[in-house]
Amino acid sequence: MTNSYDRVVDAHIPFLDLKKQYLHIKAEVLAKIEQVLDSTSYTGGTYVEEFENAFAQYCQVNYAVGVNNGTSALHLAMVALGIGPGDEVIVPANTFIASAWAVSYTGATPVFVDCHPGTWQIDAQKIEEKITSRTKAIIGVHLYGQPFDIDAVKQIAHTYNLFLVEDAAQAHGAEYRGKRVGSFGEMACFSFYPGKNLGTYGEGGAITTSQQAYADHLRRLRNNGATERYYHDELGFNMRMGSLEAAVLSIKLPYLDEWNSRRKQIAHMYQQGIVNQNIILQQQPDFAQSAYHLFVVTTPNRAHLMQYLNERQIFPGLHYPLPCHLQKAYAHLGYQAGDLPEAEYLSAHCLSLPMYAELTNMEVERVIEALNGYICPKS
Ligand SMILES: *Cc1c(COP(=O)(O)O)cnc(C)c1O
């Protein structure tokens, strides 16, 4: 059997290729862009609302509020929850740094929690020991597209009266116990950075919520704190979504499920095909249906494997080489190497295999063959 994905094999297999997807939808995108430009409605307004409505429906929530990027989405979620100086927010140590920035921007302090050694998601068992009288919220991250254990984290949030915010920047379309992520916390934050599962041509983000009061407040906050033009009720921000970015997202959203299911096929090929003892895959709990934003593995000697793959024209990514608590920007928080050992192990040994919907079966097989032929040096 052949399918449309069995095409010519390029010599070079990058971690991500945005060009192939663009070529599939180019005509549609260009027509829509022309429509936006002709309308002279360049920011906020109709095109943003059109996308917000479609995305809220996709996420099975009442409201989606479009903003200028995923970091702003997280930042505004913190502001809307009233997080500020003196407060603490629980954040996983292994995530993209923006999950923590959002807390710091408000003057509050991120408190980092280690990850589970098998799923690499926030370890719910290690949250309670980090809770103090100042803790206000937990940001759970569906890292690599795979939902964290939402019920376990929600239970803790409930017991200690904390807000729960989902960082779903990598998880558009991922499911937790059969329900799409984006609807489990007070709010969920998405990024539409070009390389995400749903990415625009530029920058974009959104907050989803089921509560109208939050949605109204977020709309005001992104628009300079104004409901009526030039009357500013509170300290606001210019974090509106642009019309071109929104229009591109409206074109792409109907394709998301198809692209995600191709990512799932590729992930299954990796999961079935990789049999090398020195390549460790991410554990997949029954409750989680990953959107496979990234396909991360660990290996005892990453530099060696990286070089081996590069010599074979395969170019993996690194997500992420240094956990948040050891970043220089957070040196003042006083964490030491060894404080969060699982996150530190992951950051030193992880490697992200090529993963995007347009990878051909032959390319995926070439990656699998290379990995199975890899011999790890004795340490
Ligand atoms: C991409 C990402 C963000 C930030 O989104 P931007 O649109 O780049 O600002 C936040 N959290 C996670 C987990 C991400 O992957």
Task: Give domain status of residue 4, yes or no.
Answer: no
Looking at residue 342, which CATH number applies to its domain?
A: 3.90.1150.10
Structure tokens at 264: 């799932």
Q: Is the pLDDT of residue 1 over 50?
A: no
Task: Give domain status of residue 9, yes or no.
Answer: no
Count how many domains the chain has: 2
**Mean pLDDT, the chain, integer:** 96
Residues 189 and 129 placed together within one structural domain of the fold: yes
Residues 56 and 166 placed together within one structural domain of the fold: yes
Residue range 136-156: mean pLDDT, rounded: 98
Residues 273 and 365 placed together within one structural domain of the fold: yes
Distance CA 182, CA 142 (A): 10
Residue range 279-289: mean pLDDT, rounded: 97
Task: Give domain status of residue 52, yes or no.
Answer: yes
Distance CA 153, CA 134 (A): 18
In the chain, the largest separation of any two C-alpha atoms, in whole Å, equals: 67
Give me ligand 1 centre to Cα 294, in Å: 13
Task: Give domain status of residue 14, yes or no.
Answer: no
- Answer with the one of 210, 225, 254 that is the final residue of a domain: 254
* pLDDT for the residue 11: 81
- Answer with the one of 254, 272, 297 that is the final residue of a domain: 254
pLDDT (tens digit, 9 = 90+) per residue, 61-73?
Answer: 999 999 999 999 9
Task: Give domain status of residue 341, yes or no.
Answer: yes
Give me ligand 1 centre to Cα 144, in Å: 11
* pLDDT for the residue 378: 79
Q: Give the phi and the psi of residue 179 in degrees, each rounded to 5.
A: -120, 140
Q: Is the pLDDT of residue 2 over 50?
A: no
Q: Give the phi and the psi of residue 320 in degrees, each rounded to 5.
A: -135, 150
Residues 57 and 184 placed together within one structural domain of the fold: yes
pLDDT (tens digit, 9 = 90+) per residue, 231-254?
Answer: 999 999 999 999 999 999 999 999
Residues 265 and 118 placed together within one structural domain of the fold: no
Domain limits at 73? 23-254
- Percent pLDDT > 70 in the chain is 97
Give me ligand 1 centre to Cα 303, in Å: 26
Give me ligand 1 centre to Cα 321, in Å: 16
Q: Where are the beta strands (DSSP E) in 142-294?
A: 163-167, 175-176, 179-180, 187-191, 205-209, 226-228, 231-232, 280-281, 288-289
User: What residues are in contact with ligand 1 under a 6 Å CB criterion?
Assistant: 69-71, 95-96, 98-99, 141, 167, 169-170, 191, 193, 203, 205
Residues 169 and 283 placed together within one structural domain of the fold: no
Task: Give domain status of residue 7, yes or no.
Answer: no
Residues 230 and 326 placed together within one structural domain of the fold: no
Residue range 42-71: mean pLDDT, rounded: 97
Task: Give domain status of residue 378, yes or no.
Answer: no
- C-beta of residue 304 within 8 angstroms of C-beta of residue 377: yes
Residue range 35-60: mean pLDDT, rounded: 96
**For a pocket test of ligand 1, which of 99, 239, 292 has the largest count of ligand atoms closer than 8 A to its C-beta?**
99
Residues 303 and 189 placed together within one structural domain of the fold: no
Give me ligand 1 centre to Cα 168, in Å: 9
- Give the ligand 1 atom nearest the CA of 196: 1
Structure tokens at 344: 């530190």
Residues 266 and 345 placed together within one structural domain of the fold: yes
Q: Where are the beta strands (DSSP E) in the chain?
A: 63-67, 88-92, 109-113, 135-141, 163-167, 175-176, 179-180, 187-191, 205-209, 226-228, 231-232, 280-281, 288-289, 295-298, 350-353
- C-beta of residue 363 within 8 angstroms of C-beta of residue 139: no
Residues 237 and 176 placed together within one structural domain of the fold: yes
Residue 97 identity: I
Looking at residue 92, which CATH number applies to its domain?
A: 3.40.640.10
Task: Give domain status of residue 13, yes or no.
Answer: no
- Answer with the one of 254, 277, 312 that is the final residue of a domain: 254
Q: How confident is the model at residue 44 (pLDDT cuts 50, 70, 90)?
A: confident
